[in-house]
Amino acid sequence: MTEYSLHSEIKNWYKVSGDKLEVKVEDFIVDILRDKLLIEIQTRNFSAIKKKLNKLLLNNQVRLVYPIAKLKWIVHVSMSGQFVRRRKSTKKGKMIDLFDELVHMPSLIENRNFSLEILLVEEEELRCYDGRGSWRKRGASVKDRKLLKVCDRIVFRDSRDFLEFLPKELHGYFTNKVLALKLGISINLTQKITYCLRKMGAISIAGKKRNELLFQVS
């Protein structure tokens, strides 16, 4: 997997005096060692780091740091790397988008040694029309991602912290459709949220209403 500039720039932003970078712990290289806390920065694809985290969590406290682009600037460059144009992306990331990745390993939240920190950032994405990218990007491939600014940060330590994503007016039983409507999000993302909350023990299945599952806060 390509490691973009975003990874090293977040590492440099995150480190404090006394931290050690790129330290070998057991069989792995860890981004940051802060006293007894191991800090791993993952800019995408939680499934790729799941095995590493599971092994490190057996004997260590581990924090996973994940950035979400609250604001993204897209810079197009030519095949030779020359600047073409810069525009603001219409897509704005939100804290709730973390479930797109968390769905790959929600049960880690139950581990007392694990914590997850989300950074809402402003970033710049460099693209080149080289025909190697996806059809969504019209053939343009992503050449780099760069950190411009950290706007906000929040740490999740246990399943109770994730109940903050549920609307305050949500009482009793609820379905995915009800939750999607109240949050103003897609059913697909809602299903990821309820799946994660179930796996970490924050909510449970209370029954069914026709063909829909009924959930309740555990």
CATH domain 162-218 topology: Arc Repressor Mutant, subunit A (1.10.10)
Burial of 5 (0-12, 13-18, 19+ CB in 10 A): middle
| Cα radius of gyration (the chain) | 19
What is the pLDDT at residue 33? 98
pLDDT of residue 171: 82
The pLDDT of residue 210 is 87
pLDDT tens, N- to C-terminus, the chain (218 residues): 567 999 999 999 999 999 999 999 999 999 999 999 999 999 989 999 999 999 999 999 999 999 999 999 999 998 888 888 999 999 999 999 999 999 999 999 999 999 999 999 999 999 998 766 555 556 688 999 999 999 999 999 999 999 999 998 888 899 999 999 999 999 999 999 999 999 999 999 999 988 999 999 98
Q: Are 40 and 31 in contact (CB under 8 A)?
A: yes
Q: Are 20 and 10 in contact (CB under 8 A)?
A: no
For residues 69 and 186, what is the distance between their CA atoms, to the nearest angstrom? 19
Give the integer Cα–Cα distance in Å for 63 and 60.
10
pLDDT value at residue 80: 81
Residues of the chain with CATH 1.10.10.10: 162-218
Between strands 212-217 and 203-209, the pairing is antiparallel
Strand positions, DSSP E, 61-186: 61-77, 83-88, 114-129, 140-156
